[in-house]
Structure 1
């Protein structure tokens, strides 16, 4: 049975051998190679010749303001410190996680230049300009898509790559790589799992929203890839009344449905699941397929969602990291801030192992990918999006049960 790009089974394709190569493993204690590779040699990512260093230019400005680390390589970290609402809390969590990464990486030769992106396009543009003037070779962040749109042109003009924390694929590409978890990748892995387990006819109950549009598009693309038939898609407006009506419409075709896609999270997921059960589509009759939005303790413990499946990084790894974070800072971890940990650890690892070409596109988008001790296997695609090796979990009413382990090596890498 063949594999898709993440290494999961792809039932309709002919069998191919999985090639195992080196990947850069990023974890506690610094960068190391995967088992079976020689230690301290670094990954063989590309055989292309090193680029010319070009003419000597004036020294960059001395870094001003908040910094983390004392290494020789300057990397900017853009966080929405002065933005309104909860953004300051997000900024603190991002900074804390980046700090933990450098503390975990023994001998990290990196200085992080922490800049306030302000939560706006203009603020991120100014932060990126400051980072460039201070000699940053790489920009980590910003967090919001609007901020990425401000930082990207500045970085692009300076030939500096951006590893943003956004989940919006529209801001990826042309030197911008996004770390956020992507609905398209999550849906692909859920549909692959469904097909492998014999669930080849699906329906969907999806909110009528921009995020819902992305989810439906991903479902249709993945269904075509894995030879899964979409029986019916229902889009609902906010509120239990419309959800119940659309669930009843799906229930009219219950005999044809082996699975139902429910990408929305939070209370909408529970309301949708309850409406499906009332329409005869219980999770034991038609498997409920969730999204990464189900990776939420409120979902884990909700009996209405019991039996549903969802994709996520390994929860045990996150829980261990969250406990360390709580001990270090005395506050709860904002889950998406772990992207800053992964990004800062990646930067430190590449500085150590990849030499002068450390942040070249061929290095950042190598097909072998990287492994984080928190969020697992990931890689950047040439278009700036990412692939991840996610586990598949079942909601049990308590701790989710793993039903499919994440891949450890990408297929064909």
Structure 2
């Protein structure tokens, strides 16, 4: 397949499949691989290497020196950018790798330096702290930012979130369940920042789908409280026909086990999850058998993983594919979108873009939408029961 297989000038739809999954959450508050983002010890020198020799400069701001999981993910994203340029034949972009140290000051300094060197687009930073720093200089210069954080408080016009947002997962699974006749739902969510966000998204998605949000329970990170709240949901009996459990697979399995032990009939009440379940822990949990969850189509993501392993002899981590996708998007827009390829009307194409993770588009408020498939867990794996859309609906 050619690097850019199609570009519809009327809809500005760019096919970024590249030559040649699963949704893996970026973590609501930037916890790659379940680890906290390490903060740099202080100011850093943004400097860094470059990838490619094109005439259009694009900055990639990453916490290269932050240490811990952050530095590991940063290296994976840098490698993914390198791979994207190898795959995109004749890419006319040069990637300026800048280090933000994982701090606000570092993000600001890295963005300022990159803009001074002629960058017309910023990819990154990884976490919300550094993204806030980078946003200031970028906004003053009229340079868009495509960041990996999923903290929606960072999002605004010109600062776009390319990651998988909890709200997208929730809307997809609730609307699908509603279409299958599930009209009275309960939710049981962790009593933390992630839980608050998913609860709000659940309420909104239920209202949009014409579903009754019958009950919502919040539980603390304590087995006794988890069990008590699970029992409260189970007592609803025939009043509900679905339960949304957005926690990570291990906790979700415990909660669902507690609900069934308290009398919840999974033959009548469908268990719903999020893309956090797209991993072996969920597939191997008997309690989650038959449950539904949303995720990106695995084909493109698995292809990226294979290509990354062949190139770097290591695994790319959960965010690597987004680094590849962002750089491929930049190269594709530079080639096909005409002068000022990263201007608002291009970045906010209603038709969106298709990359390794499938269909996605940016919204005017800086958040993003994605076309996700719906999976059902069973027999140690998961199968697609509703494919990911290949285009956004009319009027959407």
TM-score by length of structure 2 reads 0.88
Output aligned runs, 1:42-121, within 5 Å.
Answer: 65-121=48-104
Task: Please say if 1:384 is aligned against 2:374.
Answer: no
Is the 2:347–2:362 contact (alpha carbons within 8 Å) kept by the matching residues of 1?
yes
1:214 is displaced (CA, Å) by: 0.6
- Taking the aligned partners of 1:131 and 1:397, their CA distance within structure 2 comes to 50
SS in 1 for 2:68: coil
Alignment match, 1:35 = none
Aligned residue among 333, 337, 346 for 2:329 = 346
1:21 is displaced (CA, Å) by: 5.1
Aligned residue among 156, 167, 170 for 1:187 = 170
Alignment match, 2:251 = 268
SS in 2 for 1:28: coil
Task: Please say if 1:233 is aligned against 2:181.
Answer: no
Output aligned runs, 1:328-343, within 5 Å.
Answer: 328-343=311-326
1:333 is displaced (CA, Å) by: 1.9
Q: 1:283 to 1:333 in 2, by over 3 A?
A: farther
- Taking the aligned partners of 2:66 and 2:172, their CA distance within structure 1 comes to 35
Task: Please say if 1:399 is aligned against 2:389.
Answer: no
1:232 is displaced (CA, Å) by: 0.8
Aligned residue among 2, 12, 16 for 1:26 = 16
Is the 1:284–1:307 contact (alpha carbons within 8 Å) kept by the matching residues of 2?
no
SS in 1 for 2:388: coil
1:300 is displaced (CA, Å) by: 2.2
Aligned residue among 215, 219, 222 for 2:205 = 222
Output aligned runs, 1:207-356, within 5 Å.
Answer: 207-356=190-339
CA deviation string 1:334-363 (max 9, x = no partner): 112211111100000000001113000110
Alignment match, 2:150 = 167
- Taking the aligned partners of 1:408 and 1:271, their CA distance within structure 2 comes to 35
Is the 1:357–1:363 contact (alpha carbons within 8 Å) kept by the matching residues of 2?
no
- Taking the aligned partners of 2:316 and 2:379, their CA distance within structure 1 comes to 22
- Taking the aligned partners of 1:394 and 1:117, their CA distance within structure 2 comes to 40
1:22 is displaced (CA, Å) by: 5.8
1:80 is displaced (CA, Å) by: 1.0
CA RMSD of superposed structures (Å): 1.6
Give the total of aligned pairs.
361
Is the 2:12–2:349 contact (alpha carbons within 8 Å) kept by the matching residues of 1?
no
Task: Please say if 1:358 is aligned against 2:341.
Answer: yes
Alignment match, 1:8 = none
Is the 2:11–2:350 contact (alpha carbons within 8 Å) kept by the matching residues of 1?
no
CA deviation string 1:263-310 (max 9, x = no partner): 111321121121122122243331111012112222222222211111
1:397 is displaced (CA, Å) by: 4.0
Alignment match, 2:124 = 141
1:231 is displaced (CA, Å) by: 1.1
Deviates more, 1:21-30 or 1:280-289: 21-30
Q: Which runs of 5+ in 1 are unaligned?
A: 1-19, 31-62
SS in 2 for 1:392: strand
- Taking the aligned partners of 1:370 and 1:21, their CA distance within structure 2 comes to 10
- Taking the aligned partners of 1:303 and 1:393, their CA distance within structure 2 comes to 16
SS in 2 for 1:238: coil
TM-score by length of structure 1 reads 0.85
Is the 1:283–1:306 contact (alpha carbons within 8 Å) kept by the matching residues of 2?
no
SS in 2 for 1:87: helix
Q: Which runs of 5+ in 2 are unaligned?
A: 1-9, 21-45
Larger radius of gyration: 1
